[in-house]
Structure 1
Amino acid sequence: MNLRSRVTWSRSSVRLRLLAGLAVLLVSGLTASAVISASLLEDFLDKRYERTLEASANRLAEVIDRGPQTADADQLAALLGTPLGIIVVGTENEILESTGSATTAADELVALCATEPAGTIVSYDGDEGEHGLAAVRIPSPGLTVDRGRAEDLVAPAALILTMDTSVDDSTIDSLIGRQLALVGTALLVLLALAVIVLRLGMRPLARMARTADAIAEGHLTERLPTRRNGSEVDRLAEAVNRAFDAQARAEATVRSLAADTSHELRTPLSTISGWLDLHRQGGVSGPGLETALEHIENEVGRMRLLVEDLALLARLDAGRPVEQNDVDLTVLAAGVIEDAQIIYPQRSITLAPAPPAPVVGDANRLQQVLRNLVGNAVQHTPAGTAVSVEITRRRDDLQLTVVDNGPGISPQDLPRVFERFWRAEASRSRAYGGSGLGLAIVEAIVHAHQGQVLVESEVGVGTRVTIRLPYGNRRRRSAQDHAERKAEVAGRRTRVPGL
């Protein structure tokens, strides 16, 4: 793996994406928390100095409302406290006196208060290096202020009460700085913990990857480790194991099919090769040559039948559609029974009275199904065993049953009757030229017609093979399909959104 591929892998790894997503969430959450905290603190402090200004302004207004009196500006400033200050203004908004925090920006505060009604709190952020201030204008009729220092007494038009808000601003700045440091520290600590947690959490995936590599290298019996705890990783491992098991079964089926096919072809090929060798050595001549050719022709026919059966199964396995024609299953069954009675005149092979049984499908393939079922019932039961075929109509399908009163199939063999090349009695099957594909072909053809095949058997009682096919002809089936599609469309149109 080159450097470029490693970089690409690292950027697209689940671990890196989880860490990146977690980092974004942490930064967003911590930043939002810091911003909200700072905003709440700033709002609290703003409301606090507003309440302080309002309370102080109310006290001054109460003092002024008591009537004409003389006050000392320094005494007023000392009474109000350090953060507070007073600006004494005349009738033309000229500054007569200023004390405390009001001294630094008296002109600006007077100008701001002149534009607002009395009692309104105004804010002054100040220039670079200056403190922030808040002020409120209080009318002062009848008040005389003694400025001291041998200066004249003045009768101000109003007093402007000020408050230094730089303490609150510095508090907010300090909080923001500390929160930024906290966000950075918390982010590093949480990401470090996330790396550890992800490393521990990704261990099962790493083990899964190693096991998958081992399977890819040829250790086909290996499986991904599971803990049966219902976690997402455990469910993924179980799903992958099921996929590996299915693949192993498919490969085993292919190997078994190849082995069985080669085994089936080996016997006729050996027979043909033996007769050819005998002829080449001069051991076959005259009438014996005709016998040899007859045996060779029989074996070639046997191989041709096997190849045709395998080709048919391959087409059906590939899902190729069968012909869609109107077929009367009762007529097909009657023809097969008639042929079987001629071929096996000593056997009791009967068709129970049955009404017309229309189905849609391939007549040749359905006839092959009937021939295989009747042929199996005759060939794999002792002489004198009766075979009967019954056709009944149910609500939505037709049911064809082939019944014999032979020795039956043992319970352990019954699940394998549809396996390809499987025989319950190999010697008997081979004696009749069977390849073990009869019921496999029956199942494939019936499934291609959207039908079902069922086998029921009891040792000493007999065997019952039932196939079920959809009932009806092409016109009826087309009308039914059209009605179903129309109902489906109507249901989509009337369906309430969100339900």
Structure 2
Amino acid sequence: MSLGIRWRLAAGIVLAFAATLVIIFVTLHFSLERALTSDLDQGLSRDVDRIRAQITLLGSVKKLEDLQRIVDSNSLNPGGELLAIAVVRDPQDNILGRTFELNTEQLALTPEEMQRVLAGDSVSHDVTLGNEEFRVRSSPLTVGDQVVGVVQVGESTKAATRPLDRLQVILAVEAAAGVILALGIGYWLSRGALHPLQQVIAVAAEIEASDLHRRIGARRKPAEVQKLADTFDAMLERLDRAFREQRNFLYDVSHDLRTPLTALRGNIDVLLMDDKLDEGIRRQLQQMSAETGRLIRLTNNLLYMASADVGREAERRPVELDIVCLEVYRQARDLRPDVKMRLGNEDQVTVMGDRDLLKQMILNLVENGVKYTRSGGRVTLSLFKRDGQAAIVVEDTGPGIPAEHLPHIFDRFYRAGNQDKSGTGLGLAIARWIADCHGGTIEVKSKVGRGSVFTVHLPLEESSGSAAPTSAP
């Protein structure tokens, strides 16, 4: 799952802060380590000078007992724990004096280092004695003007590393607290920075195809957000204009087609009334009448779709649904002679609404059932009154609708994969719109291979609610 911009900004701030802390902490650590090491080397240099001065006063390195006392006085070994050490060697690298119980193998100088020290240089290096780290300084020992040996002094680095260890703990705790604080501050800052964008998203999410006149209307927002909002508003303006032009074109064309189509069908029906008409011509005229009727129904659907897009509200007049259902039944009988159209239960029901729209809704449901029912099948139209509602039921014995298609069959232009059938995919969408306009609902139950049942529930007119209801089968 991808992180949102808010968390990405917060993470970026935290990473930048953490990187800065790492650079500061590393620089501080090495600077402090170098300073402590320098102080330790300076202390060792003073220790070397003190031992050399004491041996100079002694006058010779051959007085081994006195030399050992000097070495012991410059060693620190409380309780057997070495803290400061001292070693005196002759030019042949023989031990003349050393701190008590000190293993001098780790302090041995290489031939090159010995040559450097005897030449007058000092050498400093770190060694491990037991479990302790020591800083050791090796310097030439002179008596008069003659180099008579090598002095080695060393101190435990514990005193130097202890502040570094303490500093690391402090810095780690502060870094963790700083990262958490930076994360909180970064999230808060990114939230504030993205709040105008969230407002734009919220408004954009509320805009639908039927509500394109709305605009985001952002004012005095950050430059990037303002530009995005203005661009989105300009796009909505273009879409709104295109949709209005499309609706107007659809409405005008449908309206202009309906009148001549109705006249054409009327003339065809008049010709069919002639008893002397040749049988072949009669069949052709009947086919023309059926196709003209289909074009009229398609034109009506386009008109209703255009009405739905402009938010047309249904008229509120008493409508006797039983009479409307009877009219639809008579009209649908001729749609397909090979499919039996049956009128089932028919209660006397009156609702408030638009008669033409309600008739179109029922006709769309019936036509849908007739269209997809196999030859020899049956479509039943029923009307019930129950629970204070009118229930229009259209049942067919068609192939049924697969479960995965049921949530979408009321969407515009959706045809559930029935590509072998003619149709526009508008009938059921318009039926649902008409049901919604009348405060009703439409639902479907279907089993593959057994058929489908479409049910429309509409609220009853108050005066018709007292009649005895009929139970649905």
Scaled by the length of structure 1, what TM-score is found?
A: 0.42
Scaled by the length of structure 2, what TM-score is found?
A: 0.44
